[in-house]
């Protein structure tokens, strides 16, 4: 049982009784549990702790070390000191606020707060005092009654996340089906009556996120008792990283094929009794036959669907070794319930006592091997600015250990830097053992400074981070790329973008040097979304259409365009819009009026994930980054790591 990841115990009787008598039915549904991967860093520790040897990892280490010795590094005579702070500033005098847009105002505020934060971290020596305060202890178990759970918004918070062997057990009861009014869910065909639906969602979430981002749904577990389009009870699972849903996995009561991959030795989907399946009778017959004949063949048991309206169930979620989507266990900081279910009790046990994110040095591998080279004082071919957020320590480490290891970067022909603003308080929900928000912010900023000092690859943009102001980081990339790095081309990407540096540079070099270039996955005639959570108001964007713009996760400009942007920003004549990629499209449209810009469109700058033969891949978790780099570097294969 220990190794099982998701166990569902269901009983049709009272739970007290059930505990006394033993489980009447036990159905093991080993489903895809996506939060089981730890980053390689942690895995290394795992390796030493558990005594398992992973040849793969060792092979990687030695191989790369060899590579380092053999790679012909171009001698760099002179270098510039690594500039840690962006020169970007925004202090126009606005005693009169007329004609100043909301985004300009918030940019000015963010810069003035950022100034204070910067002074704070410049002054603050990493004191032991601070470190002590962060070493708070989380309880090893949490028990909540149903009523307390409901009062807390149907969410149980695990401030220190989960660790290998942690488990959460829930006793609950699905409610009776109701008439579904939400047309999105019921999806009626004409003439059809409203649908009866009973379903609920259990979500393992990562609650500590940056402002403006939804918490990632590490596991979305959605039993549908009634109302699924298939007409049968089923369990759907998914995962959602940076607001992007993955491919849903549906368990419909058919056993996984023998050749399908397993999770810690368990099949992904178990079989349960279906009313349209006649083979169960045969199974019973053959079971009897096998018994009579005395065969030792493994016996297949049949269980009903593990959830029934009005009947108690016991569900245990436990953390094992294998998983799919590249989340670290400590990211799993909350478990929420939604939908047609009443939770009677919830118990979480074997929890870790500290959260490694408050000790980023555990995520960060402070090895000289991952330090960046200083900037050469000669012009470079390509400057890559990577948008990142203060607490994305793991994401940055994965970039350092993957595509930043290209020879092009090691030889300083291409330079890559992270652009990070200063963290405001972390959004931390409901917790007894978390440090105060004030300290969380100082801690993240101080750690960021330390990380920046050590690796030399972070450019801090001195404003307080805000999702609506990422456009400022784009401006900072342009400014730094032309002024500090003297690059021929400037590329912008995100810290979950995997970049094939060689392919991208080759694509840019295909265009005549004298031409101005805008290269990426270009959208033509896109319209602003006017409703919903990500709506754009007419005040923010009055026109009906957006200009042609390249998708944000990866695009390239020639330096003349970047220079134009930096200059206009300094003169306070650069129009800002909260979507950085659309802003870029707008600025380039303007530039194109004086000098013609070559718009080069390529789908290989993949926006939605990863495609064959990609130039850039997006939404790649730290684990996937390392996997892709291994394929590329060790095996020479341009392949995605979908890990599904």
Ligand X SMILES: *[C@@H]1O[C@H](CO)[C@@H](O)[C@H](O)[C@H]1NC(C)=O
* Residue 160 beta carbon to ligand X: minimum distance, rounded to whole angstroms: 18
Pick the binder of ligand X from 592, 602, 611, 638 (CB under 6 A): 592
In angstroms, what is the C-alpha Rg of the chain? 27
E strands within 362-457? 375-376, 380-387, 414-422
Token digits of residue 10: 């269901």
CA gap 242, 458 in Å, rounded: 22
Q: Are strands 334-339 and 196-205 parallel, antiparallel or unpaired?
A: antiparallel
Pick the binder of ligand X from 56, 515, 530, 596 (CB under 6 A): 596
Q: Does 128 bind ligand X (CB under 6 A)?
A: yes
- Quick one: 128 or 514, whose CB is closer to ligand X? 128
Give me the 243-272 binding string for ligand X, x by CB under 6 A, dash otherwise. Answer: ------------------------------
Exposed/middle/buried for 156, CB within 10 Å: 0-12, 13-18, 19+? buried
Q: Does 599 bind ligand X (CB under 6 A)?
A: yes
Exposed/middle/buried for 181, CB within 10 Å: 0-12, 13-18, 19+? exposed
Helix (H, G, I), strand (E, B) or coil at 220: strand
Exposed/middle/buried for 248, CB within 10 Å: 0-12, 13-18, 19+? exposed
* Residue 127 beta carbon to ligand X: minimum distance, rounded to whole angstroms: 7
Stretch that binds ligand X, among 57-65, 305-313, 438-446, 592-600 (CB under 6 A): 592-600
Helix (H, G, I), strand (E, B) or coil at 16: helix
- Quick one: 62 or 93, whose CB is closer to ligand X? 93
Provide the 8-state DSSP code for 357: G
* Residue 244 beta carbon to ligand X: minimum distance, rounded to whole angstroms: 28
* Residue 530 beta carbon to ligand X: minimum distance, rounded to whole angstroms: 23
Token digits of residue 267: 């099949």
Decide if 352 contacts 138 (C-beta within 8 A).
yes
- Quick one: 129 or 182, whose CB is closer to ligand X? 129
Q: Does 589 bind ligand X (CB under 6 A)?
A: yes
- 400 membership: H or E segment, kind and range: helix 393-401
* Residue 258 beta carbon to ligand X: minimum distance, rounded to whole angstroms: 20
* Residue 130 beta carbon to ligand X: minimum distance, rounded to whole angstroms: 9
- Quick one: 123 or 293, whose CB is closer to ligand X? 123
* Residue 209 beta carbon to ligand X: minimum distance, rounded to whole angstroms: 29
Kindly give, in sequence order, each residue whose CB lies less than 8 Å from that of residue 59, ignoring residues fewer than 6 positions away. Answer: 634
CA gap 566, 474 in Å, rounded: 10
Instruction: Give the sign of the dihedral formed by CA 620, CA 624, CA 628, CA 629.
Output: positive
* Residue 277 beta carbon to ligand X: minimum distance, rounded to whole angstroms: 6
Stretch that binds ligand X, among 125-133, 172-180, 191-199, 506-514 (CB under 6 A): 125-133
* Residue 599 beta carbon to ligand X: minimum distance, rounded to whole angstroms: 6
User: Between residue 75 and residue 94, which ones bind ligand X under the rule CB under 6 A?
Assistant: 93
- Quick one: 548 or 552, whose CB is closer to ligand X? 548
Q: Are strands 375-376 and 155-157 parallel, antiparallel or unpaired?
A: unpaired
- Quick one: 158 or 597, whose CB is closer to ligand X? 597
Q: Does 277 bind ligand X (CB under 6 A)?
A: yes
- Quick one: 16 or 278, whose CB is closer to ligand X? 278
Token digits of residue 562: 């970047």
Q: Does 276 bind ligand X (CB under 6 A)?
A: yes
Q: Does 118 bind ligand X (CB under 6 A)?
A: no
Q: Does 97 bind ligand X (CB under 6 A)?
A: no
- Quick one: 186 or 280, whose CB is closer to ligand X? 280
Q: How many residues sit in the footprint of ligand X (CB under 6 A)? A: 13
- Quick one: 236 or 589, whose CB is closer to ligand X? 589
Alpha helices in 458-557 (DSSP H): 470-479, 501-509
Stretch that binds ligand X, among 247-255, 400-408, 481-489, 589-597 (CB under 6 A): 589-597
CA gap 475, 459 in Å, rounded: 13
* Residue 12 beta carbon to ligand X: minimum distance, rounded to whole angstroms: 26
Decide if 205 contacts 335 (C-beta within 8 A).
yes
Bridge-partner residues for 201, per DSSP?
A: 338
* Residue 270 beta carbon to ligand X: minimum distance, rounded to whole angstroms: 19
- Quick one: 326 or 547, whose CB is closer to ligand X? 547
CA gap 420, 461 in Å, rounded: 6
- Quick one: 286 or 592, whose CB is closer to ligand X? 592
- Quick one: 172 or 585, whose CB is closer to ligand X? 585
Pick the binder of ligand X from 16, 55, 97, 129 (CB under 6 A): 129
Pick the binder of ligand X from 95, 230, 438, 573 (CB under 6 A): 95
* Residue 624 beta carbon to ligand X: minimum distance, rounded to whole angstroms: 34
- Quick one: 16 or 129, whose CB is closer to ligand X? 129
CA gap 167, 171 in Å, rounded: 13
CA gap 244, 201 in Å, rounded: 17
Provide φ and ψ at 179, rounded to 5°: -75, 120
Stretch that binds ligand X, among 209-217, 273-281, 529-537, 549-557 (CB under 6 A): 273-281
Provide φ and ψ at 85, rounded to 5°: -125, 140
Q: Does 548 bind ligand X (CB under 6 A)?
A: yes
- Quick one: 89 or 244, whose CB is closer to ligand X? 89
How far is the first Cα of the chain from the last one, in angstroms, to the nearest whole number? 24
Stretch that binds ligand X, among 38-46, 408-416, 525-533, 591-599 (CB under 6 A): 591-599
Q: Does 182 bind ligand X (CB under 6 A)?
A: no
- Quick one: 65 or 598, whose CB is closer to ligand X? 598
CA gap 199, 340 in Å, rounded: 6
Instruction: Give the sign of the dihedral formed by CA 30, CA 31, CA 34, CA 40.
Output: positive
Write a three-state SS string for 286-316.
HHHHHHHHCCCCCCCCCECCCCCCCCCEEEE
Pick the binder of ligand X from 97, 182, 192, 278 (CB under 6 A): 278
* Residue 517 beta carbon to ligand X: minimum distance, rounded to whole angstroms: 13
Q: Does 549 bind ligand X (CB under 6 A)?
A: no
Q: Does 132 bind ligand X (CB under 6 A)?
A: yes
Kindly list the distances between the CA atom of residue 44 and the CA atoms of 36, 41, 244, 348, 363, in Å, as whole numbers in the listed order: 15, 5, 29, 26, 11
Exposed/middle/buried for 146, CB within 10 Å: 0-12, 13-18, 19+? middle
Contacts to ligand X by CB under 6 A? 93, 95, 128-129, 132, 276-278, 548, 589, 592, 596, 599
């Amino acid at each position: 049982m220990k190794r099982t990841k998701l166990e569902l115990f269901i009983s049709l009787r009272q739970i007290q009784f059930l505990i006394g008598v033993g489980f009447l039915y036990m159905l093991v549904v080993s489903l895809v549990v996506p939060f089981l991967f730890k980053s390689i860093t942690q895995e290394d520790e795992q390796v030493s702790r558990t005594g398992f040897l992973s040849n793969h990892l060792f092979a990687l280490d030695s191989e790369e070390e060899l590579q380092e010795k053999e790679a012909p590094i171009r001698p760099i005579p002179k270098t510039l000191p690594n500039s840690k702070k962006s020169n970007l500033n925004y202090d126009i005098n606005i005693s009169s606020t007329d004609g100043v847009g909301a985004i300009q105002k918030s940019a000015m505020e963010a810069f003035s707060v950022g100034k204070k934060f910067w002074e704070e971290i410049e002054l603050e020596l990493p004191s032991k005092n601070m470190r002590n305060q962060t070493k708070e202890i989380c309880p090893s178990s949490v028990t909540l009654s149903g009523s307390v759970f409901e009062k807390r918004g149907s969410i149980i918070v695990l401030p220190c996340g989960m660790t290998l062997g942690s488990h959460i057990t829930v006793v609950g009861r699905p409610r009776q089906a109701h008439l579904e009014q939400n047309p999105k869910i019921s999806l009626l065909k004409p003439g059809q009556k409203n649908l009866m639906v009973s379903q609920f969602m259990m979500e393992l979430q990562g609650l500590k996120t940056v402002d403006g981002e939804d918490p990632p749904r590490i596991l979305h577990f959605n039993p549908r008792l009634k109302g699924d389009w298939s007409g049968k009870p089923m369990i759907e699972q998914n995962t959602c990283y940076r607001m992007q849903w993955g491919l849903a996995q549906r368990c419909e009561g058919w056993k996984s094929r023998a050749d399908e991959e397993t999770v810690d030795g368990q099949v992904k989907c178990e079989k349960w009794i279906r009313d349209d399946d006649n083979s169960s009778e045969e199974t019973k017959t053959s079971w009897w036959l096998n018994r009579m004949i005395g065969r030792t063949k493994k016996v297949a048991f049949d269980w009903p669907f593990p959830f029934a309206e009005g009947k108690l169930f016991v569900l245990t979620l436990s953390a094992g070794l294998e998983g799919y989507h590249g989340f670290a266990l400590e990211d799993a900081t909350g478990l929420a319930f939604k939908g047609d279910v009443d939770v009677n009790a919830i118990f979480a046990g074997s929890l870790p006592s500290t959260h490694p994110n408050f000790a980023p040095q555990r995520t960060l591998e402070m090895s000289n091997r991952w330090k960046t080279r200083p900037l050469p004082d000669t012009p470079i071919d390509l400057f890559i600015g990577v948008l990142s957020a203060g607490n994305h320590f793991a994401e940055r480490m994965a970039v350092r250990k993957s595509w930043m290891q290209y020879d092009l970067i090691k030889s300083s022909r291409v330079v890559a830097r992270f652009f990070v603003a200063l963290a405001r308080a972390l959004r931390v929900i409901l917790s007894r053992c978390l440090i105060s928000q004030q300290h969380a912010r100082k801690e993240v900023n101080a750690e960021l400074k330390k990380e920046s000092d050590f690796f030399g690859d972070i450019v801090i943009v001195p404003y307080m981070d805000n999702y609506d102001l990422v456009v400022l980081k784009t401006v900072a990339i342009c400014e730094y790329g032309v002024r500090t790095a003297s690059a021929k081309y400037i590329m912008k990407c995100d810290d979950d973008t995997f970049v094939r540096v060689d392919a991208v540079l080759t694509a840019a070099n295909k265009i005549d040097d004298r031409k101005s270039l805008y290269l990426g996955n270009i959208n033509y005639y896109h319209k602003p979304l006017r409703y919903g959570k990500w709506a754009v108001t007419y005040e923010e964007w009055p026109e009906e259409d957006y200009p042609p713009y390249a998708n944000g996760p990866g695009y390239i400009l020639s330096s003349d365009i970047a220079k134009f942007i930096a200059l206009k920003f300094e003169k306070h004549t650069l129009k800002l819009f909260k979507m950085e990629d659309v802003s870029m499209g707008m600025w380039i449209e303007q530039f194109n009026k004086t000098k013609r810009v070559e718009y080069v469109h390529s789908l290989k700058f993949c926006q939605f994930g990863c495609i064959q033969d990609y130039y850039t891949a997006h939404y790649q978790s730290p684990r996937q980054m390392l996997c892709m780099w291994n394929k590329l570097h060790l095996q020479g294969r341009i392949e995605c790591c979908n890990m599904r």
